[in-house]
Amino acid sequence: MRLDPLRYLDDELTSLREQGLYRRLRVLDDEQKAHASVDHRAVVNLSSNNYLGLTTHPLLRERAADAIQRFGVGSGSVRTIAGTMEIHVELERKLAEFKRTEAAVVFQSGFTANAGTVSSILGKDDFIVSDELNHASIIDGARLSRATIKVFPHRDVAAARTIVEALPRDRRRLIITDGVFSMDGDLGPLPALCDLADELGCIMMVDDAHASGVFGRHGRGTVDHFGMHGRVDVQVGTLSKAIGSLGGYVAGSRALIDFLQHRARPFLFSTSHPPSVAASCLAAIAVLETEPALIDRLWENTRFFKAGLEALGFNTGNSQSPITPVIVGEAATAMTLSDRLFEEGVFAQGIGFPTVAQGKARVRTIVTATHTREELAFALDCFAKVGRELSVIRDS
């Protein structure tokens, strides 16, 4: 009889269960919205990245449906063979305009945009200087590049400077940061890192996955928010969060984009977006330009909810964005807090190691433009009740 060569996975899963890190996937029964039905329970949804509610926006639906009727459901090929449709090119033109760069290229996801870019623009003789909390897709891209990876403590520009100063000037050196850090909601120190990159001749790259549609004029991201146009060589964004659809992109110089179209492996070796996805992204960019009130509402809700959590005594870290972590320490506490909140009618995912450091487990909350005040007030009441029950906060 053949022994199962994968049986060691059972031990790994048992270990995850023992550490309180085993996760059962929650399933949406209906649309991705601020008030949703998850596992057949009506909940206030504080877990999605649907910052502006665009997953269900009428214009995006309409344009996606039209594109299916006109162009079919799939692109049928990778971009470099037969999978480049006019609508992909139009989307790239609009993204470049939106980000105020010469050109842009779309990838299948934000993950492949980061990993495909970092791994193709650098090689084994180069150096990558990376914030310790940068997204996994940056880390994987850095590993794939075979460049030497130097990690600096979170947001510590002085430490980044010490690292860069010690590197050989005749090598390519990339400084890379998230624009908004996805688990903490704080911002990368973009102006100071751009100064460092300018002074020491480094390539500057930012991953604005959580900033596009949220920060800057009409949601142009942290580069716009900090007035850093022309000083960030590589801007990555996602179409899967505030934009409400799916995909990622890189915006930068024409040469950068041309190079990525020749060398970035996800662009070369994975089929391009269905036309309906590209159409919905184009509609989303139009919405960002024509409905700025959505972004205003996102920020009003963010201020309201964040102030509420802080007033209750939760540890919300240093967030400056609609992502507000409720940091509790142990993974088991975070998972219990999340489960109890769910029972009360609030969906806020518990997050533990390895997504965040050991001892920094949390429940992560994200408000959106489409939450009502009543929904957010209800969520705060639930946090108060369950937080006291689990002694995460004290009775006031």
Ligand X SMILES: Cc1ncc(COP(=O)(O)O)c(C=O)c1O
Binding site for ligand X (CB under 6 A): 109-111, 114, 135, 137, 178, 182, 207, 209-210, 238, 240, 248
Q: How far is the CB of 149 from ligand X (least distance, A)?
A: 17
Q: How far is the CB of 212 from ligand X (least distance, A)?
A: 10
Peptide bond into 275 cis (omega under 30): no
Q: How far is the CB of 155 from ligand X (least distance, A)?
A: 14
Is 360 a known active-site residue? Answer: no
Among residues 182, 212, 272, 280, the one annotated as catalytic is 182
Among residues 241, 273, 306, 371, the one annotated as catalytic is 241
Is 154 a known active-site residue? Answer: no
Q: Where are the beta strands (DSSP E) in the chain?
A: 35-38, 41-45, 103-107, 127-131, 148-152, 173-178, 203-207, 234-238, 248-252, 323-329, 346-347, 350-351, 361-366
Phi then psi for residue 118, to 5 deg, are -60, -40
Phi then psi for residue 364, to 5 deg, are -100, 130
Q: How far is the CB of 210 from ligand X (least distance, A)?
A: 6
Q: How far is the CB of 213 from ligand X (least distance, A)?
A: 12
Nearer to ligand X, 20 or 179 (CB): 179
DSSP string, 324-392: EEEEEESHHHHHHHHHHHHHHTEE--EE-TTTS-TT-EEEEEE--TT--HHHHHHHHHHHHHHHHHTTS
Q: Name the residue with tokens 């050196």.
A: 173
Is 210 a known active-site residue? Answer: yes
Name the residue whose CB lies closest to ligand X.
110
Residues constituting the chain: 396
d(CA 265, CA 116): 6
Among residues 135, 210, 306, 360, the one annotated as catalytic is 210
Nearer to ligand X, 118 or 279 (CB): 118
85 contacts: CB under 8 Å, gap ≥ 6: 71, 75, 272, 275, 278
Nearer to ligand X, 161 or 241 (CB): 241
Q: How far is the CB of 226 from ligand X (least distance, A)?
A: 17
d(CA 73, CA 382): 42
> Cα separations (Å) of 324 from 28, 46, 359, 381?
22, 10, 17, 16
Q: How far is CA 362 from the centre of its chain?
A: 17
Nearer to ligand X, 20 or 248 (CB): 248
d(CA 206, CA 190): 8
Q: Which residues are tagged catalytic?
A: 182, 210, 241
